Amino acid sequence: MAREFDLVVLGAGPVGENVVDRARAAGLEVAVVEHELVGGECSYWACVPSKTLLRSGAALRAARRVRGASDAVTGDVDVAETLARRDYWVSDWDDRNAVAWLESVGAVLVRGHGRLQGERRVVVTPPDGGADEVLVARHAVAVCTGSEPVVPDVPGLADARPWISRDATGVRNVPARLAIIGGGVVAVEMATLYAGFGTRTTMIVRHGLLGGMEPFAGEAVADGLRALGVELRQGASPVRVSRDETDAVVIELDDGGTVTADEVLVATGRRPRSTGIGVEAVGLEPGSSITVDDTLAVVGLDEASAAARNDVDDGDGDRPERMPWLYAVGDVTGRASFTHQGKYQGRAAGDVIAARALGRPVDAGRYGIHTATADSVAVPSVVFADPEVGSVGLTAARAAARGLAVRTPEVAFSSVTGAGILADDYEGRARLVIDDERDVVVGATFVGPDVAELVHQATIAIVGEVPVRRLWHAVPAFPTMSEVWLRLLEADGRPEVGG
Ligand SMILES: Cc1cc2nc3c(=O)[nH]c(=O)nc-3n(C[C@H](O)[C@H](O)[C@H](O)COP(=O)(O)OP(=O)(O)OC[C@H]3O[C@@H](n4cnc5c(N)ncnc54)[C@H](O)[C@@H]3O)c2cc1C
Ligand SMILES: NC(=O)c1ccc[n+]([C@@H]2O[C@H](COP(=O)([O-])OP(=O)(O)OC[C@H]3O[C@@H](n4cnc5c(N)ncnc54)[C@H](O)[C@@H]3O)[C@@H](O)[C@H]2O)c1
The pLDDT score that the predictor gives to residue 77 is 97
User: What are the beta bridge partners of residue 42?
Assistant: none
Mutate-to-test residue for ligand 2 from 45, 206, 271, highest number of ligand atoms within 8 A of CB = 206
Does residue 171 come out as left (phi exceeding 0), alpha (psi in the -120 to 50 range) or beta? beta
The pLDDT score that the predictor gives to residue 498 is 80
Taking the CA of 116 as reference, the closest ligand is 1
The pLDDT score that the predictor gives to residue 310 is 54
For the segment 161-182, the average pLDDT, to the nearest whole number, is 98
Question: Each residue of 134-169: pLDDT tens digit?
Answer: 999 999 999 999 999 999 999 999 999 999 999 999
Domain ranges in the chain are 3-44+91-148+272-374, 158-268, 387-492
Let me know: does 267 contact 250? Beta carbons within 8 Å: no
Pure H helices in 73-162? 79-89, 96-104
The whole-angstrom distance between residue 430's C-alpha and the CA centroid of its chain comes to: 22
Residues with CB under 6 Å of ligand 2 are 152, 181-187, 189, 206-207, 211, 237, 267-270, 337-338, 381-384
Q: What is the ipTM of this complex?
A: 0.98
What separation in angstroms does the CA of 186 have from each of 129, 268, 320? 34, 8, 47
The pLDDT score that the predictor gives to residue 315 is 54
Question: Each residue of 417-464: pLDDT tens digit?
Answer: 999 999 999 999 999 999 999 999 999 999 999 999 999 999 999 999
Mutate-to-test residue for ligand 2 from 43, 270, 392, highest number of ligand atoms within 8 A of CB = 270
Count of alpha carbons within 13 angstroms of residue 478, beta-carbon side: 4
CATH code, 158-268: 3.50.50.60
Question: Each residue of 86-97: pLDDT tens digit?
Answer: 999 999 999 999
Q: Which helix (H) or strand (E) holds 117?
A: none
CATH code, 3-44+91-148+272-374: 3.50.50.60
The domain made up of 387-492 has a fold known as: Enolase-like; domain 1 (3.30.390)
Mutate-to-test residue for ligand 1 from 41, 117, 163, highest number of ligand atoms within 8 A of CB = 41
The pLDDT score that the predictor gives to residue 322 is 72
Rounded to the nearest angstrom, the distance between the alpha carbon of 237 and the centre of ligand 2 is: 15
Work out the burial of residue 148: count CB atoms within 10 Å of its CB; fewer than 13 is exposed, 13-18 middle, 19 or more buried. middle
Rounded to the nearest angstrom, the distance between the alpha carbon of 41 and the centre of ligand 1 is: 4
pTM, full prediction: 0.96
Ligand 1 atom nearest to CA at 276:
41
What separation in angstroms does the CA of 19 have from each of 58, 76, 98, 453, 496? 34, 42, 14, 27, 47
Where does the pLDDT of residue 183 fall: very low under 50, low under 70, confident under 90, or very high at 90 and above?
very high
- Mean of per-residue pLDDT scores for the chain: 95
User: What are the beta bridge partners of residue 134?
Assistant: 123
Pocket of ligand 1 contains residue 146 by CB under 6 Å = yes
Task: Check if 158-268 and 387-492 are the same fold.
Answer: no
The angle at the Cα of 277, spanning 274 to 280, to the nearest 5 degrees, equals 80
Rounded to the nearest angstrom, the distance between the alpha carbon of 362 and the centre of ligand 2 is: 36
Question: Each residue of 43-86: pLDDT tens digit?
Answer: 999 999 999 999 999 999 999 999 999 999 999 999 999 999 99
